[in-house]
Amino acid sequence: MHLTYNMVGKSVRLSRILKSDGRAVVFAFDHGVEHGPSDFPPEHVDPRVIIGKVVEAGVDAIMMLPGIARITWDLWGNKTALIIKVTSKTNLRPRDERLLQSVFGYVEEAVALGADAVAATVYWGSQYEDRMLQQWFAVRNEAESYGLPCLQLAYPRGPAIPNRYDVEIVRYGARAAAESGADLIKTYYTGSLETFKQVVEAASGVPVLMSGGPRREKEVDFLRDVKNVLEAGGRGVVVGRNVFQHKNPTGMMKAVIGVVHEDLEPEEAVKKYLEK
Ligand code: FBP
């Protein structure tokens, strides 16, 4: 039996993100909306500067909002895969409403931009979970017809969730992401190899990528988290702040790639790419 056209499209596009070793390093760059431009060091407020650096480092894919893709296309086009995020929110909102991600673009726009995947956030446990699920299934349904894989940022957070990094909570979100048809899952690191293994198991074979999180003081600590994720069966990392807030983003991105694709130990990666 032959595969359907959209199954072929999805496989081809996924293979541009997850490399031949089944792993991926994705640069997350939606912070200008999610956190505001104060997240960026002054030299990286211009998206073209940092995008140029991570492309030069050899990142596998970049996840960004449609407007930034338009401004930077000549830098990443034909060089890295593109994941267009079609939901977002600002921190300018009242605190309670930050638990809702709104529509921030359309699948058709992602296709028009040449995307290899679309991404959308679901805050599992939020009082707005129902609205985000409606958005998620609308995105997923349309993406499916174009053969576009869907990355879910499966982020449990809400009034009933005291600790969003708790393994029970994170694995619940990962399982819910798998059950809602995600092709790739991006979620929080739970702090250890053993606990992250449970997250990967709950995702039942859907590839899980670690979400970078706030900048770690020592790069080796971040690289060790990435290594643990891989040893737990995770497929890589979607990293933003730990790269663009680093004084040497190109070196830091290369070090992350070294751990993910070259199987370097964190200390070796630091020596090879950051201490030269
Ligand atoms: P980082 O590596 O900087 O954590 O980026 C991952 C990410 O999910 C971004 O895509 C997003 O802008 C940000 O984290 C969301 O952060 P927060 O946890 O503050 O909502």
Residue 105: domain span:
5-273
pTM exceeds cut of 0.95: yes
CATH code: domain of residue 49:
3.20.20.70
Mutate to test the pocket of ligand 1, among 34, 124, 221 (most ligand atoms within 8 A of CB): 34
The pLDDT tens digits along the chain (276 residues) read 899 999 999 999 999 999 999 999 999 999 999 999 999 999 999 999 999 999 999 999 999 999 999 999 999 999 999 999 999 999 999 999 999 999 999 999 999 999 999 999 999 999 999 999 999 999 999 999 999 999 999 999 999 999 999 999 999 999 999 999 999 999 999 999 999 999 999 999 999 999 999 999 999 999 999 999 999 999 999 999 999 999 999 999 999 999 999 999 999 999 999 997
> Would the CA dihedral through 230, 187, 141, 107 be positive or negative?
negative
* Number of domains the chain is built from: 1
How many angstroms is it from 6 CA to the middle of ligand 1?
A: 30
Instruction: Kindly name the residue from 19, 85, 89, 186 that is annotated as catalytic.
Output: 186
Whether 82 and 114 have beta carbons less than 8 Å apart is answered as yes
How many angstroms is it from 105 CA to the middle of ligand 1?
A: 18
> Would the CA dihedral through 258, 264, 266, 269 be positive or negative?
negative
| CA-to-CA separations, 163 to 19, 133, 146, 157, in angstroms, rounded | 33, 22, 37, 8
